[in-house]
Amino acid sequence: MPGDLNIQKMTINIDRIIAKEQKYEEEETVITLKQPGMVIMDLETKLSQVQFDIKKNKVLLKANLHQNIFYLDENNQLQQESSTSLVEKIISVNGSEPGLKSKNFIQVTGKSSEIMEQGLQVKIKTSLFISIQLHRNEAREVVTGFEESKDIKVKKKNIIWENLVGQEHITENINPEISLPEKASRILKIDSKAFIKNTDIKQHNLHLKGETKYQIYYLNENEALRFHNETVPFQLTLGVPEADPEHYVYLYPQAVLQEYRLNEEDETSLKLSMLINLSATVEEVAGVNLVTHVAAPGLKIDKETITGESRELETELGEMLTTTIDLHHRALEVVHLAAEIRHEAPQVENSQITVNGEIQSRLYLRDEEDTLRMHKENLPVRFSGVIPQLEPDHEIEVISSDTENITFQQVNQYQVEQSVSAKMNIKARKTVTEDVVVEISEVPLPTDITTKIYIVQQGDTLDKISWRFQVSMEELSKANPEVGEPAEISPGQKLRIPVKIG
């Protein structure tokens, strides 16, 4: 490289997506009940022990599928049955190979149940969404600076991208003990949610502090339905090679109830066996000013296209709904309330994101003939919020949506007031693509060609000027490299017109 060209270069590391696959799968399981079931009241489905094994052109997925069924038996008594089964899937992914870094995701998107065999079995269909993305980190030498002068025009752009450091999945067992405010004759149902409150990275380990929120439905000594809410802290440590304190961490925790036991002596102490399932993705943000164009006579510019992932933008949207439900039947007692969220695709305007949907409530009650009935009510809900730095070309994805802190109170025999807290996690990301300069070299100028100056007039284009002076577009571009790409000129601008000598 000639010594009089003052070129600054650096080597950057940028992830390249090697393969990407998204698909929906359905898993069917059959659970045998201890007591004949008449009505399914609620169904919980969660995953744990998630493993992705990267092979040549395929990915092997393994996970434990936990299912809790709440149903009424022949005596109208609420019963619970739990089951854990192994999910195994082979996902075809062209271009995958061992050693690639991966960013994978699996979630339950739907479920349905059907009672069979005179109430002794329940068939469950679970819909799963699986996302697989494989990365390879590559080193690229690029130009970051070049001395600008009167005849040399340099364009730069600040490019920011995010590299995948690593992703790990962990499942830990915890055994919290909860004290109820009064004696319980029976535990009906336990809802649990896990949250991470603090993250600290030290020596390539994630030190996490979180809490699990429990909502416990039970019958007291007088057989009256009661609720009890309790929050229990927990701590986890997860190793992620190469993770450093300046990296960004994205966490997706989930609490899975395995079993519970009520102390028969005091009837207030409740011991739980829980699984905390956690997916942790660690990424680093890199950014630098790169040269995207140099325009000057006698210089040859070599460019390459770099492609990376922008920094992931994430937000949580929440709504609290309190409404009065009008019942179709007279209710002597409201037994249980379950709620789920169904939503449409996110809508984006500027940095504002809106998601329309509905909360589907299922209310179980006993009528005046002591017959169990179910009342369905769909309540419209709109989630709205702002994601700073959101742009039109970002891809928006709903990561999770859930309800919590579900409570109800019977106003009278025909009305029930319900309160539901609804939350939705959303992420946004886009692909960063830019042509950058990787090499600058000198080329000899033709000795048989000179130039004359032309002042650009209103309405001129390079095509018109080329035709007027009978020079090719290639010759015109070589004589005026500062015009750049795309070729834009304006009135009053000076252009060099090639003229052959002799």
Q: Which CATH number goes with the domain that contains 478?
A: 3.10.350.10
Residue 217 lies in a domain: yes
Residue 247 lies in a domain: yes
Closest by CA to 230, choosing from 405, 429, 457, is 405
Q: Are residues 338 and 389 in the same domain?
A: yes
- Per DSSP, 266 falls in state T
Residue 3: predicted pLDDT: 46
Q: Are residues 2 and 141 in the same domain?
A: yes
Q: Are residues 244 and 339 in the same domain?
A: no
pLDDT digits (tens, 9 = 90+) for 424-457: 889 888 888 888 999 888 776 666 667 888 998 9
Cβ 394 vs Cβ 429: under 8 Å: yes
Q: Are strands 58-73 and 37-55 parallel, antiparallel or unpaired?
A: antiparallel
Which domain covers residue 491, as residue numbers? Answer: 446-500
Token code pair at residue 267: 């009837």
Residue 155 lies in a domain: no
Phi and psi of 467, rounded to 5°? Answer: -70, -40
Q: Are residues 38 and 133 in the same domain?
A: yes
Q: Cα-Cα-Cα-Cα dihedral of 260, 194, 110, 25, to 10°? A: -100
Chain length of the chain: 502
Residue 345 lies in a domain: yes
Cβ 71 vs Cβ 33: under 8 Å: yes
Distance of alpha carbon 450 from alpha carbon 502, whole angstroms: 10
Residue 439 lies in a domain: no
Give exposure, 441-475, as e/b (b: 16+ Cβ within 10 Å): eeeeeeeeeeeeebebeeebebeebbeeeebeeeb
Q: Are residues 6 and 143 in the same domain?
A: yes
Tell me the β-bridge partners of 194: 212
Distance of alpha carbon 115 from alpha carbon 32, whole angstroms: 10
Residue 292 lies in a domain: no
Closest by CA to 404, choosing from 386, 376, 425, is 425
Return all residues near 258 (Cβ < 8 A) that are at least 6 apart: 66, 82, 84, 173, 273, 274, 275
Distance of alpha carbon 213 from alpha carbon 222, whole angstroms: 26
Cβ 252 vs Cβ 279: under 8 Å: yes
Q: Are strands 372-386 and 352-367 parallel, antiparallel or unpaired?
A: antiparallel
Residue 195 lies in a domain: yes
Where the chain has pLDDT below 70, the residues are 1-4, 150-151, 297, 372, 444-449, 481-482, 484-487, 502
Residue 214 lies in a domain: yes
Q: Are residues 322 and 407 in the same domain?
A: yes
Return all residues near 428 (Cβ < 8 A) that are at least 6 apart: 312, 313, 314, 353, 387, 390, 394, 395, 396, 397
Q: Are residues 86 and 19 in the same domain?
A: yes
Q: Are residues 280 and 346 in the same domain?
A: no
List, as one string, the DSSP characters of 406-429.
EEEEEEETTEEEEEEEEEEEEEEE
Cβ 297 vs Cβ 446: under 8 Å: no
Domain count of the fold of the chain: 4
Closest by CA to 488, choosing from 453, 459, 454, 461, is 461
Residue 236: predicted pLDDT: 93
Q: Are residues 450 and 423 in the same domain?
A: no
Q: Are residues 425 and 455 in the same domain?
A: no
Distance of alpha carbon 495 from alpha carbon 473, whole angstroms: 13
Q: Are residues 468 and 339 in the same domain?
A: no
Q: What are the distances in angstroms from CA 236 to CA 153, 251, 278, 291?
A: 54, 12, 9, 44
CA–centroid distance for 143 within its chain: 34
pLDDT digits (tens, 9 = 90+) for 361-390: 888 787 887 776 778 888 899 999 988 888
Residue 52: predicted pLDDT: 95
What is residue 489's three-state secondary structure?
Answer: coil
Q: Are residues 2 and 139 in the same domain?
A: yes
